[in-house]
Structure 1
Amino acid sequence: MPSILLAAAALAGLTLFVYFLLTVVGIIANAKGDLSAEYSLTKTGTPPPAYIGNIGRNFVNLTEMPVLFYALVALHLAGNVEVSGLQLMLAWAYVALRYLHTLIHITVNTMGLRFLVHRISAIILVVMWVNFALAL
């Protein structure tokens, strides 16, 4: 299995972990009465506690920009485009930053730090796309 595919699998694993974390935390919050059925159904009424909202927003983040990463990995593999050492290093850096972003988002949620990590990961993704285009 090509190493860039392992990076994609690691990112998919993070996304699935956050999804299941959101599910478990949501079930517990619902049982404790911290999550209103009204809000869950209509998005009106008392919003969920911040810790649930942060996990939910992080899950959404993991289904947005990373789509471009998965597409890039798929194009590398489908097009049999060589993955350079630099591209592989950037892929793992991207995945590591997404893990860091998730850790920040669902724990301390420091906006400035979270923003910085997210933007650096986005820049890495742009560089990866440029490298891919140049390799064609």
Structure 2
Amino acid sequence: MTLTAKLLLLATAAQVLLTLIILVLMGRERVPRVMSGEIKVADIAVERSAYPLQARLLSNSFDNQFQLPVLFYVAALLTLFATATGWIDVLLAWLFVALRYVHAVIHVTTNRVHMRFAAYTAGLAVLAIFWLWLVLRLVVLAPSV
């Protein structure tokens, strides 16, 4: 495996790690409240409003890790298996993941919507460039069969 492929795989693992960190933090907020009886299971069976704000922020952030990142995972896997991974791929992948960390930190701390939206939009732009670059290489620049 080339160095660039390894770095792309590490970026993907860093995104998975972010998701797992948020999951653990969310569990630390939710489980003790349910176990102690502070929150009744019936009150959370359908919606999250019974949880305190921090638990809801973590839950929303966790859900968000299954939106844009899914498109990132597909692009990363296609890049790893269909092409020779290059430095542009690595740069775009790590930039996307860094922006996802920024977005998550804003989401679960200050939750300043304008800042969060800016981080989300920047991540979306990077992801769109990643996909455009991938399609360009696979469809336009690839030698014909």
Normalising by the residue count of structure 1, what TM-score does the alignment of the two structures yield? 0.90
Q: Which residue of 2 aligns with 1:48?
A: 51
RMSD: 1.6
- Does the alignment pair 1:129 with 2:131? yes
Per-residue deviation, 1:88 = 1.0
Contact conserved, 2:103 with 2:119, CA < 8 A, in 1? yes
- Does the alignment pair 1:67 with 2:70? yes
Q: Which residue of 2 aligns with 1:13?
A: 17
Normalising by the residue count of structure 2, what TM-score does the alignment of the two structures yield? 0.85
Contact conserved, 2:93 with 2:130, CA < 8 A, in 1? yes
| One-letter code aligned to 2:26 | L
Per-residue deviation, 1:72 = 0.7
Structure of larger gyration radius:
2
Per-residue deviation, 1:92 = 0.4
| One-letter code aligned to 1:117 | A
* Structure 1 unaligned blocks of 5 or more: none
Q: How does 1:77-116 map to 2 (within 5 A)?
A: 77-79=80-82, 81-116=83-118
Write the distance in 2 (CA, Å) between the matches of 1:53 and 1:129: 32
- Percent identity reads 29
Q: Which moved more, 1:82-91 or 1:8-17?
A: 82-91
4+ runs deviating over 6 angstroms: none
* Structure 2 unaligned blocks of 5 or more: 139-145
- The CA deviation string for residues 87-134 of structure 1, in whole angstroms up to 9 with x for no partner, is 211110100010111111011101100011001000100000001111
